Every structure is written in C-alpha cells, then in structure tokens.
Amino acid sequence: MRPQRFARVCAAAGLAVAAAFWVSSSSVSAATATANLTVSATVSVNCIVTAGTLSFGAYDPVVANATADLDGSGTFTVACTKGATGVTIELGQGSNYSSGRRMVSSGNYLPYELYSNSGRTTVWGSGAAAVTPSAPSSYAPVVYTVYGRVAAGANVTAGSYSDTVVATVNF
C-alpha cells in the first residue's frame, strides 16, 4: 500500500476510533439519579344525615284510638365514611317537649314517642338512648326506620298536629 494511502486509512481509522470513544464517553457522562416521591392523603371520618318524615295519619280519640295505640313509621338516611367507628345516631326531644315528646296544634298537644325497633320497646333518643350502628362497609347511604306511637285514649282537641325532631349523627 502506498504511504499516502496508508496514512489516509490510518487517519480514517483513527477518526472512527475517536468517534466511537466520543459516543461511548458521552453515554457514560450522562449520569442519572433517582429518589422516591412520597404521595399521601388523609381520609377523614365524615357523616351526613338526610331528613325524613313520619306520618301517623288520622288519630281518632273517640272510636279507633280510644283503646288502641296509633302506630306509624318513617325513614331517614345516614351515610358515613367506610369503616367509621364510634358513630351514634340521636333523635332529639322535639320542638314541643315537656315531660315527653309532643306534637302541637294551636296550643294543644298530642303526646307521642319514637322507637328504634318495630316492637316499640326501645325509645330512640340521645345519650344512652342513641342508636349505635355497625361500621359501614361503604359510603352508601343507609336507610334507618324510626317507629312512632301515639298512645290510646289521649284527650285532645281536633286539629293538625306536628313536631320537628332533630336527627344528629355523632362521629
């Protein structure tokens, strides 16, 4: 091979080696570093209560309810965070309470009571008389039934009677 051509081949080979070195050294010099990003959230216990109604219908103190109680029932809903514990549901005394729950009509009162069971043996109130539901398995609303009773033989004036009872969820 001629000396000039040999020199050119050597120069080309040298450039190829230099280029390969430059490519591999640039790959090595592109270093990386990693770190963990911690992601967090806090899920708070929360509950909501949605109002409901309980309508006793017609109370007849002369015939039908002279000796028979008038029973009624109604519902309301409660939704709490999944797994919430220590939840209690209280029913207040009502707006016209005086030695018991009472509905009012033009200054006249019709006594009644609210219960947590269909046999109407467990008064639903506050404190020790509150209902303690089991921890919810989802946040889906749970429908609660409240059972009411107007005792037989109430000596009351004709009218439309009503009361407002506050349902409270403690969590």
Q: Which token pair is 82? A: 């999944």
Residue 112 falls inside a structural domain = yes
Residue 111 falls inside a structural domain = yes
Which range of residues forms the domain containing residue 124?
47-170
Query: How many structural domains are present in the chain?
Result: 1
Residue 33 falls inside a structural domain = no
Model confidence band, residue 69 (pLDDT cutoffs 50, 70, 90): very high
By percentage, how much of the chain surpasses pLDDT 70?
Answer: 84
Residue 28 falls inside a structural domain = no
Strand residues in the chain grouped as ranges (E)? 47-54, 70-80, 88-91, 102-105, 108-111, 113-115, 142-150, 167-170
**Residue 19 clears pLDDT 90, i.e. is over it:** no
Decide if 133 contacts 142 (C-beta within 8 A). Answer: yes
Residue 1 falls inside a structural domain = no
CATH code of the domain in which 148 resides: 2.60.40.1090
DSSP tag of 119: T
Alpha carbons 15 and 69: distance in angstroms, whole number = 108
Q: Which pLDDT tens digit goes with each residue over 82-93?
A: 999 999 999 999
Q: Is the pTM of the predicted complex or chain greater than 0.85? A: no
Residue 14 falls inside a structural domain = no
Q: Which pLDDT tens digit goes with each residue over 103-147?
A: 999 999 999 999 999 999 999 999 999 999 998 888 899 999 999
